[in-house]
């Protein structure tokens, strides 16, 4: 384990390689979950404010951009997974020189990626939304929202990479503090720009950009001020070619998976668009509520990456297996409880976004098929997280793309073409999650057994809890 400095930063770090795992995973998980929920509140505040004060067209416009935005952004966000895995591995192995080089390289990559995304978003917004058959009564609003939103991409990238570095050493508390500040600013500015300034979708997009800038500034300040081994040194900033290549090798498959996953979601969004703006608005509100359940589960996916990464780096392979089992059990409980609770209270929750009964009925319809089975998605993601923490990135990418992305595309062009109903569209989600989870588990068992056998044959002692 890397030596911990005596500065105040060490109190935020978690020793993932020694002692009982359940308590440490939960200590790591809770701030991470709350951070994710706050980040999701950025978009939720946008949707709630425009739905209440700018009308159904604006609500549908904001929702119509989400799958397209994810398609573009996920490729770069995936690189932060590579940074997380490598920082965790170097930290667990006590390789301080490599750790410092990785931090410098990761932050530089985030800045460059953010700048690239600004231009991509500005250029592709309208033609891409037209390809998605976005209705003419909402497309101008969607284009405006998306273009302003992408101006803030450098801030989003810097925050995501910076928080990935902190997560890798066990610090999930400070990213929560940073997002708390930014979240309050976002909500206040949303209300001010929309209600007072009557800026509509432009107002909520501008508020999001400003709040993202605040969170990015806070995480950069944290990395610069710390005296720990992951300190960001701005003077004489150097990018390590080897670390950059390795980060791409691990992170690019994750980003590619996220982007290609989004293709299936874009196709589903396009299919939803064919049912009209009321169905779009209901789908937007329902999916936004589901987002809170997903974020709570996804925190276990990120926990699995960091815990598996550090223990793999420390060569404590049996603890990696324990990380998988514990995170799978915890995510199943959280997904079942939160998913079913969200569906049970769906009628009340959807009224936060709209008072239109038709929109609410469409939202309930979506949640009926997604929320109840959502725990299987969380279990699928945890398996992926452990494999990535161990350094396997291409394998889970191929499995996920085949079992989920490709499956949904085939479903849309076959089954859905015969039964053109929203229930037929939505049921493709849980089927794909279950199939993909089962294959991921088979892959983990094969990899894990080979790893233990190889270590045993080499005469190296297996370290356990």
Query: What confidence tens digit (pLDDT) does each residue in 196-231 have?
Result: 887 777 888 898 899 999 999 999 998 888 877 788
At residue 252, the pLDDT reads 82
| Most distant CA atoms of the chain, gap in Å | 71
What residue ranges of the chain have pLDDT lower than 50?
A: 1-6, 460-465
At residue 213, the pLDDT reads 94
User: Tokens 């009925």 correspond to what residue?
Assistant: 361
What burial class does residue 126 get, using C-beta atoms within 10 Å of its C-beta: 0-12 exposed, 13-18 middle, 19+ buried?
middle
Residues 138/277, Cβ–Cβ less than 8 Å: yes
At residue 9, the pLDDT reads 52
Closest CA relative to residue 138, chosen from 30, 235, 239, 62 = 62
Residue 135 CA to its chain's centroid (Å): 28
Q: What is the pLDDT of residues 321-366, one digit of tens each?
A: 999 999 999 999 999 999 999 999 988 888 887 788 888 998 899 9
User: Tokens 């080979």 correspond to what residue?
Assistant: 450
At residue 461, the pLDDT reads 46
Residues 154/114, Cβ–Cβ less than 8 Å: yes
Q: What is the DSSP string of 408-452?
A: HHHHHHTHHHHS-SHHHHHTHHHHHHHHHHHHHHHHHHHHHHHHH
Tokens linked to 84: 């997380």
Residue 388 to residue 395: CA distance in whole angstroms: 9
Which helix (H) or strand (E) segment is 383 a member of? helix 375-389
Q: DSSP class of residue 459?
A: T
* Global pTM value: 0.75
* Every domain of the chain and the residues it spans: 13-457
Q: Within 10 A of 116 (CB to CB), how many other CB atoms are there? A: 14
At residue 35, the pLDDT reads 80
């Amino acid at each position: 384990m890397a030596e911990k400095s005596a500065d105040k930063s060490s109190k935020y770090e978690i020793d993932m390689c020694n002692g009982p795992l359940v308590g440490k995973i939960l200590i790591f998980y809770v701030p991470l979950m709350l951070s994710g929920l706050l980040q999701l509140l950025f978009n939720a505040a946008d949707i709630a404010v425009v739905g209440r004060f700018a009308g159904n067209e604006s609500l549908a416009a904001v929702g119509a951009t989400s799958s397209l935005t994810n398609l573009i952004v996920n490729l770069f966000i995936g690189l932060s997974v590579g940074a997380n895995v490598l920082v965790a591995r170097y930290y667990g192995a006590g390789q301080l020189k490599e750790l410092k080089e990785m931090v410098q390289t990761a932050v530089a990559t985030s800045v460059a990626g953010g700048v690239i995304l600004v231009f991509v978003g500005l250029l592709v917004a309208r033609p891409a939304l037209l390809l998605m058959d976005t209705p003419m009564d909402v497309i101008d609003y969607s284009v405006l929202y998306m273009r302003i939103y992408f101006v803030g991409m450098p801030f989003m990238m810097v925050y995501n990479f910076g928080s990935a570095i902190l997560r890798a050493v066990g610090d999930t508390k400070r990213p929560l503090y940073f997002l708390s500040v930014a979240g309050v600013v976002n909500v206040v500015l949303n209300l001010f720009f929309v209600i007072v300034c009557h800026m509509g979708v432009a107002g909520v997009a501008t508020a999001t950009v400003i709040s993202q800038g605040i969170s990015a500034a806070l995480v950069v300040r944290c990395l610069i001020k710390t005296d720990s081994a992951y300190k960001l040194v701005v003077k004489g900033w150097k990018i390590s070619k080897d670390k950059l290549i390795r980060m791409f090798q691990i992170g690019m498959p994750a980003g590619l998976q996220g982007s290609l996953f989004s293709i299936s979601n874009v196709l589903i969004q396009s299919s939803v668009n064919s049912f009209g703006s009321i169905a779009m608005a209901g789908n937007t509100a329902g999916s936004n509520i589901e987002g809170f359940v997903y974020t709570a589960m996804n925190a276990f996916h990120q926990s699995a990456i960091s815990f598996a990464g550090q223990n793999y780096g420390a060569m404590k392979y049996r603890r990696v297996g324990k990380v998988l089992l514990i995170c799978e059990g915890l995510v199943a409980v959280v997904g079942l409880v939160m998913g079913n609770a969200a569906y049970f209270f769906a009628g009340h929750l959807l009224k936060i976004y709209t008072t239109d009964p038709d929109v609410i009925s469409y939202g309930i319809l979506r949640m009926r098929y997604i929320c109840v089975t959502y725990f299987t998605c969380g279990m699928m993601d945890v398996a992926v997280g452990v494999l990535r923490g161990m350094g396997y990135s291409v394998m889970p990418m191929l499995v996920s793309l085949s079992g989920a992305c490709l499956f949904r595309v085939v479903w849309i062009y076959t089954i859905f073409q015969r039964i053109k109903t929203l229930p037929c569209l939505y049921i493709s989600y849980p089927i794909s999650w279950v199939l993909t989870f089962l294959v991921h588990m088979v892959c983990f068992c094969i990899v894990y057994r080979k790893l233990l056998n190889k270590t045993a044959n080499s005469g190296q002692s297996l370290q356990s809890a």
